[in-house]
């Protein structure tokens, strides 16, 4: 069964899409089979993988409404299978939310192909509406990217309470893995950044994932060029940080790396 990880936070501009795409690419580079699902109508992940966010008739929203089988909307880029989003999903979200038992739609479709992958990565919109709820119902792990500049404990607590509610009512397998602190370089040189990090770690012990993701101009540059951070600047600080983060997540999940498996089989 695939590990299904949702990247979710009820605020935009915190590095959510960058983190989801970078983790997916890093894991794929290690040899894992990845399905990436773009749940955000802004479709930034879809565009990061080289596809348009407009005029795309086959997307996650229409699949969830039963207009296409899941196999018919899969695209591929960088060795990753992708269920794309479209700006049409802004309207489709309201339609999805009005349906009976709509919170299970994604999970029901995903169950048909989940076993074909090692990891399913979901990039959620910056809200707690129907598309995000569907992602959380389908996931077994949640990661919340944030930035320390606009630290809002009330917003964080609301996000965590939503996770707890979904776990209690719908998805008992949902686990909060932790926070990714993005764009950390400049703010961690300030008293505000250090205090906010201390506050976060005190409130949520052992839930701040390491390493903190450092800032570099290579991130917006790579997005502007339609490339991943690893294609654009593989030795940049963010690329190195996301690679290390992926390795740390494998340890948290007790996933044996492909390299370790090969060594074990060789010496058996």
What token pair was written down for 210? 């390491």
Query: CA–CA separation, 60 vs 241, rounded Å?
Result: 30
The answer to whether 74 and 44 are in contact (CB under 8 A) is no
C-alpha distances out from residue 177 to 140, 249, 250, Å: 9, 9, 12
pLDDT value of position 80: 98
pLDDT value of position 263: 36
Query: CA–CA separation, 25 vs 204, rounded Å?
Result: 28
CA end-to-end distance (rounded Å), the chain: 25
Condensed to tens digits (0 to 9), the pLDDT of residues 96-121 reads 988 878 899 999 999 999 999 999 99
* E-assigned strand segments in the chain: 3-7, 34-38, 75-77, 80-83, 119-123, 141-146, 175-181
pLDDT value of position 11: 87
Please spell the DSSP secondary structure of 110-179, one letter per residue: HTTTGGG-SEEEEE--SSSSHHHHHHHHH-SEEEEEE-STT--HHHHHHHHHHHHHHHHHT-TT-EEEEE
SS3 for 250? Answer: helix
Residues of the chain with pLDDT under 50: 259-268
- The DSSP bridge pattern shows strands 141-146 and 175-181 to be parallel
pLDDT value of position 56: 67
pLDDT value of position 267: 42
Query: CA–CA separation, 164 vs 159, rounded Å?
Result: 9
Condensed to tens digits (0 to 9), the pLDDT of residues 21-51 reads 999 999 999 999 999 999 999 999 999 998 9
Domains of the chain: 3-267 (3.40.50.300)
pLDDT value of position 262: 36
């Amino acid at each position: 069964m695939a590990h299904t990880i949702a990247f979710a936070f009820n605020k935009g501009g915190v590095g959510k899409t960058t983190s989801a795409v970078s983790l997916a690419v890093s894991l794929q580079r290690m040899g894992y089979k990845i399905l990436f699902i773009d749940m955000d109508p802004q479709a930034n992940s879809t565009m990061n993988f080289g596809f348009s966010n407009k005029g795309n008739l086959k997307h996650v929203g229409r699949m969830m409404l039963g207009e296409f089988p899941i196999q018919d909307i899969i695209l591929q880029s960088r060795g990753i299978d992708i269920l794309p989003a479209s700006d049409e999903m802004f309207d489709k979200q309201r339609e999805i939310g009005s349906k009976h038992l709509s919170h299970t739609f994604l999970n029901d479709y995903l169950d048909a192909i989940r076993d074909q992958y090692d990891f399913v990565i979901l990039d959620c919109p910056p809200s707690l509406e129907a598309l995000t709820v569907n992602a959380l119902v389908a996931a077994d792990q949640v990661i919340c990217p944030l930035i320390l500049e606009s630290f809002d404990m009330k917003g964080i607590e609301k996000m965590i309470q939503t996770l707890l509610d979904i776990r209690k009512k719908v998805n008992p397998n949902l686990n909060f893995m932790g926070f990714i602190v993005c764009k950390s370089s400049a703010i961690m040189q300030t008293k505000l950044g250090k205090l906010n990090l201390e506050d976060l770690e005190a409130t949520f012990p052992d839930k701040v994932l390491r390493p903190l993701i450092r800032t570099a101009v290579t991130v917006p540059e790579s997005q502007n060029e339609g490339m991943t951070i690893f294609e654009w600047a593989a030795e940049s600080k963010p690329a190195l940080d996301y690679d290390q983060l992926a390795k740390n997540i494998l340890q948290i999940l007790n996933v044996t790396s492909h390299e370790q498996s090969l060594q074990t089989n060789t010496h058996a």
